[in-house]
Structure 1
Amino acid sequence: MATMRDVAEKAGVSITSVSHFINNTRPISDSLKEQIELAMTDLDFQPNALARSLRLKQTKSVGIIVPDSANPFFANVTRSIEKALFANQYNVILGNSDGDLDRALLYLKVMTERQVDGLIFIDVGASGDVLNAALRSLNIPVILIDRIVPGVEVDYVTVTNIRGGFDATQHLISLGHRRIACLTGPRGLTASMDRVAGYRQALSEADLPLDENLIYTGDFQFESGYDGARQLLNLSPRPTAIFACNDLMAVGVMRAAAELGIVVPSELSVVGFDDIPLAKFSAPALTTIAQPTEQIGILTANRFLKRMQNQDLPPEQQILETELLIRQTTAPALTKRG
């Protein structure tokens, strides 16, 4: 097996120059780089990543913990982060907490034991003091995405969830809907609570009464959208529109409406949140509040890279704008209903 000494001899340079090239610890000329790269290729030289990480006190790995790796929103954000970090020679270790606090805590333990250089975390919701204490105890950079964990002073990247909930509801109000239901995410999630706050604010500003019977607590999955819609659409009078706090639940709503013989959008308007790829390919195409998933991932990766350069930077909060995308699942309310 070739060594750095072999590479240095073949390239006609010093071992020190080879070391600086491999570890990126000092600038070297382009001509020396070319000589070393050719020698490494000819000798099939593979640097010892473990030894290098021990010297530099970096493993070039980042842990990402998500609550649902099957959810297209989290998958798209994670892909964007991985792409940006990979371009900077970082590897990603992914953990799926499946919305379970104990699993999230276990992944925190496993990833710190593997000495990841930093952690990107999306809260499972209703985490309480245990997770807060675990995150505060970490001595590596931590970045929160989408969901703020109260009491944890770290970097986070999120969106204007209140504004998004408001825009979704105001759009339905502008179409003449007055009995508007809301399918929420799990209790305790800041993202869900903020979207519901926007829903409540829009009703209040339009002088519409808030009927708590029209608010159904879901879990951001297809099934809870389906179950919630079945319950809401059996009310009398039933809602003429439903705002679902994510697209997966909105698709569940559309399935339930179809089974009940309720036509979307002529008899029921539906708005989602996220703009996952399925939204524009559903039939009819889903009106939704779009989150800039690629931008979220890029900003998160860039913030991590800045943290690796200077871990004494003050925490930074980046809040991105959401956007209402009007497609085919919303229409003016009928003046009379059966």
Structure 2
Amino acid sequence: MIKLKEVAERANVSTATVSRVLSNTGKVTEKTRKKVLAAMEELNYQPNFLARQLRKLETKTILVVVPDIANTFFSKVIRGIESVALQNDYQVLLGDSQNNSQSESQYLNHLRYKQVDGVILLTARTDSRLIEDLSDDYPVVLACEYLEGSRIPTVSIDNISSARKITDHLIKQGHQRIAHISGPMNIILGRDRLKGYEQAMTQNRYEIDQVLVQEGDFSYESGYKLMEKFLALQNPPTAVFAANDEMAIGAIKAIKKHRLSVPEDIAVVGFDDIEMASIIEPELTTVAQPTFEIGSTAMDLLLCLMKKEQLTKKQYVLEDQLVIRQSCGANEM
């Protein structure tokens, strides 16, 4: 194997100069840089990047932990992360915690063992103290989900405000008996979107029938089963707000199975604006999150932490958008 010293001898420069050319650091004239590159090509020199990374105690790799890799919402978030990571010569590893807090905490061990340089969590279901303690010593960023009162850098939307906005939209369409299929109550997103629904109902002085509030798990199947439950009521809802699009699509499937129409018999709205939301019939009214921007902003924050730069801002709340389509019975915006 050709060594760095041999390249230096062929180019008639010092080994330090060759190192500066390889790392693209320090002052090297264009003439000298070309001499070094020519020598490397003549000798077929292959730089040992792994050894260089070990000396610098960095892996040039970051880990992204996703709660459910099958949920298509996260694909654009990951693309946003990768776009910034690749521009800065970082590789991205994905870890699927499968909605399991124990799996999530096991992935965090990659940081402790220095197998990755930083972590972006798209889930925050493990012990909050564990994540807080880890973030004191290692670069950690939260995206999509968050921890209440946390000092960890976070990128998300205002889920309470967004849920209130889409519930208000149903109320403006004349609905009073509005059901809510929530996310899991052990997850901040489930609690926040329920809170937004409750605020909209209360502010409009509508009674919340607790039978019409059911806890789902963000899956298509739970949306389907809970809609079946609503349809079995003597007085079913006239509209349903599901806390994500997959559950909303499941609800639409159940309504159609009962030979009812959306939105003529029951209006349905979701949350997230996944790709299927604009493909299903009728097209789904939902809340669109700036997924790519969430990912790219999270990666920018992680880069700052890994470079030990001072953050001017730790909490980023990005703008969402109410996307009105056919499933709510209103004209598309």
TM-score (norm 2): 0.92
Question: In the TM superposition, what is the alpha-carbon distance from 1:34 to its structure 2 partner?
Answer: 4.1
User: Taking structure 1 as reference, are residues 57 and 251 closer, same or farther at Cα in structure 2, changes over 3 Å only?
Assistant: same
Q: Verify the 8 A CA contact 2:262 2:327 in the aligned structure 1.
A: yes
Partner residue of 2:122? 122
Q: Verify the 8 A CA contact 2:111 2:117 in the aligned structure 1.
A: no
Whole-Å Cα distance in 1 between the matches of residues 163 and 154 of structure 2?
20
- Secondary structure at the counterpart of residue 229 of structure 2: helix
Question: In the TM superposition, what is the alpha-carbon distance from 1:24 to its structure 2 partner?
Answer: 3.9
RMSD: 2.0
**Which segments of structure 1 move beyond 6 Å, counting only runs of 4 or more?**
none
1:201-216 correspondence runs (5 A): 201-216=199-214
- Structure 1 position 279 matched with structure 2 position 277: yes
- Secondary structure at the counterpart of residue 47 of structure 1: coil
Q: What is the aligned counterpart of 1:164 among 157, 162, 165?
A: 162
Whole-Å Cα distance in 2 between the matches of residues 10 and 170 of structure 1?
73
Partner residue of 1:51? 51
Question: In the TM superposition, what is the alpha-carbon distance from 1:289 to its structure 2 partner?
Answer: 0.1
Whole-Å Cα distance in 1 between the matches of residues 276 and 37 of structure 2?
45
Paired letter, 1:132: R
User: Taking structure 1 as reference, are residues 288 and 30 closer, same or farther at Cα in structure 2, changes over 3 Å only?
Assistant: farther
Partner residue of 1:102? 102
Structure 1: gaps of 5 or more residues: 333-338
Q: Verify the 8 A CA contact 1:186 1:219 in the aligned structure 2.
A: yes
Question: In the TM superposition, what is the alpha-carbon distance from 1:267 to its structure 2 partner?
Answer: 1.2
Is the deviation greater in 108-117 or in 142-151?
108-117
Q: Verify the 8 A CA contact 1:203 1:209 in the aligned structure 2.
A: yes
Partner residue of 1:137? 134
Question: In the TM superposition, what is the alpha-carbon distance from 1:231 to its structure 2 partner?
Answer: 0.8
- Structure 1 position 191 matched with structure 2 position 189: yes
User: Taking structure 1 as reference, are residues 6 and 323 closer, same or farther at Cα in structure 2, changes over 3 Å only?
Assistant: same
User: Taking structure 1 as reference, are residues 169 and 13 closer, same or farther at Cα in structure 2, changes over 3 Å only?
Assistant: same
Whole-Å Cα distance in 1 between the matches of residues 78 and 199 of structure 2?
32
Q: Verify the 8 A CA contact 1:289 1:325 in the aligned structure 2.
A: yes
- Structure 1 position 217 matched with structure 2 position 203: no
1:1-338 correspondence runs (5 A): 1-125=1-125, 127=126, 130-138=127-135, 139-150=137-148, 152-313=150-311, 316-331=314-329
* Per-residue CA distance 1:26-73 (angstroms, 9 max, x = gap): 243444444444444454433222221122222111111111111111
Question: In the TM superposition, what is the alpha-carbon distance from 1:109 to its structure 2 partner?
Answer: 1.5
Question: In the TM superposition, what is the alpha-carbon distance from 1:105 to its structure 2 partner?
Answer: 1.3
Is the deviation greater in 202-211 or in 108-117?
108-117
Paired letter, 1:186: P
Whole-Å Cα distance in 2 between the matches of residues 250 and 30 of structure 1?
60
User: Taking structure 1 as reference, are residues 307 and 6 closer, same or farther at Cα in structure 2, changes over 3 Å only?
Assistant: same
- Secondary structure at the counterpart of residue 108 of structure 2: helix
Question: In the TM superposition, what is the alpha-carbon distance from 1:319 to its structure 2 partner?
Answer: 0.5
User: Taking structure 1 as reference, are residues 153 and 124 closer, same or farther at Cα in structure 2, changes over 3 Å only?
Assistant: closer
Q: Verify the 8 A CA contact 2:7 2:39 in the aligned structure 1.
A: yes
Whole-Å Cα distance in 2 between the matches of residues 161 and 279 of structure 1?
19
- Secondary structure at the counterpart of residue 326 of structure 2: coil
User: Taking structure 1 as reference, are residues 2 and 322 closer, same or farther at Cα in structure 2, changes over 3 Å only?
Assistant: same
Whole-Å Cα distance in 2 between the matches of residues 188 and 53 of structure 1?
40
* Per-residue CA distance 1:185-213 (angstroms, 9 max, x = gap): 11121122111111111111211111111
